Every structure is written in structure tokens, then in C-alpha cells.
Amino acid sequence: MKIAIIGAGALGLYYGARLQQAGEDVHFLLRRDREAIRQRGLQVYSIDGDFHLDQVQGYASADEMPTVDLVIVGLKTFANSQLKSLITPLLTEQTAILTLQNGLGNEERLAQLFGRPRILGGVAFLCSNRGEPGVVHHLSQGPIRLGEFCGGLSSRAEEISAMFNRARVHCTAVADLKKIRWEKLVWNVPFNGLCALTGKTTDQLLAHPPSRTLIEEIMAEVVAGANAQELTSPIDGAAFAAQLIKLTEGMGAYQPSMMIDREQGRPLELEAIYGIPLQHAGEQGIDLPRIAMLHSLLAVTEG
């Protein structure tokens, strides 16, 4: 399959490298890493085995890239204003678009630009970060769940899922994209925000009893907001939160993406991870006071 990676940060570089390693025809839109990758290739240090790609098809502009069968979007959501200019040159009538971005609202934005039938969404539970230019560190996890924006379990979603699995990325196609989006928020909302605000890693927050309790309370609020959204089946809040906390304890001293963005002076993904979920919950009459406070504190400390 011919694939374009738009948003070649830690997520885009890692998954794109895995797909290329498995024999897919992958094309990367590169910014910071372009010169280093051109000179030295792409190095991946992974818990599943290190590997190096000597040759990478990297481009400085989307206008230089070929049309493809699948566009994978890994952009930070604060860059969504660029979606039209970055994706339009890559499309044929059959091209599918899969967004692996955080939060809510990304599929809707893409559907407005390119039409609902093209769009799939996915959630990636991946612990990775970039090292020096041309280097990616895969620290933990990595599974993807994906589905059609229009709903239902499609052969297209299953085909893309099978492709990821051949590339040593555990991937599952699902019928209810909305549910998996909210399930990812159960982790993203507390850990991204609290780590960015406090400068503490996930293990430090969980080791502090009051912070651990706050994490559990925020998770419960996300679940309440999710279960008001007419999902195909409700999220079992207590059991799911306990599962996520146990998983996070196994990550060690992990820095979520929002914490890294704040440390490096980049904008935060506040609208997708906080603003839109709060709006959707409010439309169903669900009040999420802890999440609203967290959103407010993150917003007031931006810039």
C-alpha cells in the first residue's frame, strides 16, 4: 500500500517506520528531522527490537509528494488549520484518510474538508518520543484501534488493521469509533493535563496518594461524559480506570506528550482533549467540574 505520513513526530515516525520495515511504500512529510534522515536514515530504538532504515522517502512539502492510497495523520491538533493544504495534494478519488490524533473533533474536521466516506479514526496507545533528529525511542505499548467515521465494521478498516499487524503493531478494527475515542480520553485527560501543570511524571503522580485519588476522580468524570454519548455499550468506569492505572504504573517515569509540549514551549492540544469533550458532555447535561478546572488552569498558564 502507498502511504503518506502527515505529522512525522514520535508517533508518525514510529508507525511509518514499522510500516516501511514491513514492506509498505511509505512517504513522510518531514520537518525537523528531514536533513538528518536524508543523511543518516531513520533509527528506531524499540522495546520490540531496534532497527534502522537506511533509505526513507522524505519530503519538505506535501506538493512534492505522490498521491497515495492512505494518508495517516499524526499532526498535533493545534495544527489542524493546515490539514487542507497538507492533504489535498495526496488524494485520488479512492484515497482513505486515517487520523491517529488525540481527542475529539478531528474526524469531523477532516470530513468537512474531504467528505465523510474517506475518513477513518484511530486511537494509539503509544509511549514514544523523539531523541536527536532522525531518532525515535519506542518506550512502551503501541497498540492501535481504528474504525470508520461513518460507523460500522468495514472491510477497509479490517484491511488497514491487518496491514499494521503485519508491521508488528497490534491493531484492531472496531465498529464504534466514538467509544474508543472517549476511552482514550479516560487516560489523556488526567495524565496529560496534570503532568503538564505539575511537571511531574506519571509515576510521581501515582505515588502521591492525593494526586492518585484526583486521577481516579477525573477518570470517573470522563467516563460519565462518555456514557452520555449513546455509545454502543457503556464504559465500565471503575474496572477500566483500574486497568489504565495498572498499565500506567508499568510505564515508569513517563512524560505524556502535553508535558513535553509545555517543556519545549509548544502549544497544548486543549481544544481536542478538553474543550470539545466538555462541550459534548454539557450538551447532554453532564457537568464535569474537575475537568473544567483542569482545562481552565491549563489555558490560563498557556504562553
Per-residue CA distances from 22 to 3, 19, 44, 60, 163 (Å): 13, 5, 14, 24, 9
Residue type, 294: L
* Residue 126: alpha-carbon gap to chain centroid: 8
Cβ–Cβ under 8 Å, residues 103 and 9:
no
Q: Is 2 a catalytic residue?
A: no
Query: Which of 22, 50, 53 lies closest to 36 in space, CA to CA?
Result: 53
Cβ–Cβ under 8 Å, residues 99 and 122:
yes
Q: Catalytic one among 76, 178, 179, 184?
A: 184
Backbone angles phi, psi at 260, to 5 degrees: -65, -40
Helix pair angle (209-227, 276-283), 10° resolution:
60
Query: Which of 127, 105, 113, 131 lies closest to 42 in space, CA to CA?
Result: 131
For residue 56, is it left (φ>0), alpha (ψ between -120 and 50) or beta? beta
Q: What does the alpha-carbon distance between residue 303 and residue 296 come to, in Å, rounded to a whole number?
A: 14
What is the set of active-site residues? 184
